[in-house]
Chains A and B, each alone.
Chain A
């Protein structure tokens, strides 16, 4: 269980870590914890999975990644974990999830996102993925995004209502 100080800490770092030589000491100063306590608590958040990752979140467009593809596969249930593990290791796969099929209309159970610098490049990368993982026998579709209506950053602690969010949808 997280206590009030944990909550305070999570709130303080949600917008970013201080960019100074001793960032954890700096955070501690703001909320009345010492450097060691901050380090121990954040390490525990990582261990328990409350924090998935600590690091930078890039803006796709700024790095030239303008083609955004969601690729979906219909993989037999007994193979889906193995295939998921395997495709998530490809350098150009940015997210990989297993999701429930939606009947005959949408029989896909494995999703991955490929952000690429052009549609051609993304299609090439997908072909490479299919070939190297022997995925050709399985049905698939590639859905490019045409328009992004809304993309909110991660905000976990806001005045009500308090929405949760993800990066890189």
Chain B
């Protein structure tokens, strides 16, 4: 990955034009030929530096629901609890973090009612309280990760 690749990644994290020749427009901004941009972008995707190039949907606007939840898993049952949570197809991310609240996971469902059902099932199966922290407000961040 060289400086041109980095410039492409940083530029395309901020957005992509919606017009007939969007790559042409981006390549002019970056000062490289369009063909080179296409080739480099394809390579970054192929080698896995980029996981995706396309839309990020707004879950709630799509009719779905998302929440961030956490649980205090006792040390000796930790792996078992993590496994129970991971088994739910509605659990999208699950991270262990250094805190009493040591498992943090995102629940994503097709409807908001379903979030409560999933939380209830997790509580029944783990016999632990699930802390539910849905977002009240999202603050817009322009650049995700500087390359």
Contacts and interface: CB of A to CB of B under 8 A. Distances in A.
A151 interface: yes
Given A106-B101, A164-B66, A59 B51 contact: yes
B138 interface: yes
B93 A151 contact: yes
A55 B14 contact: yes
Contacts of A106: 101, 131
Interface string A85-106: 1011001111111111010001
By DSSP majority rule, is chain B's interface helix, strand, loop, or mixed?
A: mixed
B86 interface: yes
Nearest to A88: B139
Contacts of B109: 163-164
B74 interface: no
Q: How large is the interface on A (under 10, 10 to 19, 20 to 34, 35 or more residues)?
A: 35 or more
B145 A166 contact: no
A23 B99 CA distance: 46
A102 B131 contact: yes
A138 interface: no
The DSSP consensus for interface residues of chain A is mixed
Contacts of A151: 92-93
Contacts of A48: 61
Interface in A118-169: 141, 143-154, 156, 161-169
A95 B108 contact: no
B interface bracket (residues with beta carbon within 8 Å of A): 35 or more
Contacts of B141: 88, 93-96
Contacts of B15: 53-55
Give the interface centre of A43, A48, A92, A151 by most chain B CB atoms within 10 Å: A151
Contacts of B18: 24, 39, 42-43, 46, 54
A17 B89 contact: no
Most buried by A among B15, B68, B145: B145
Given A58-B13, A58-B50, A163-B109, A14 B57 contact: yes
Given A21-B21, A97-B135, A149-B94, A57 B56 contact: yes
Interface string B93-113: 111111101001110111000
A100 B134 contact: yes
A81 interface: yes
Contact of B41 (A19, A50, A53, A99): A19
Interface of B: 9, 12-16, 18-24, 34, 38, 41-42, 44-45, 48-59, 61-62, 64-66, 68, 82, 85-86, 89-99, 101, 104-106, 108-110, 131, 133-141, 143-147
Given A25-B20, A102-B131, A149-B95, 11 more contacts: A24-B18, A35-B20, A50-B58, A55-B13, A55-B15, A84-B137, A92-B146, A98-B139, A99-B68, A143-B101, A149-B86
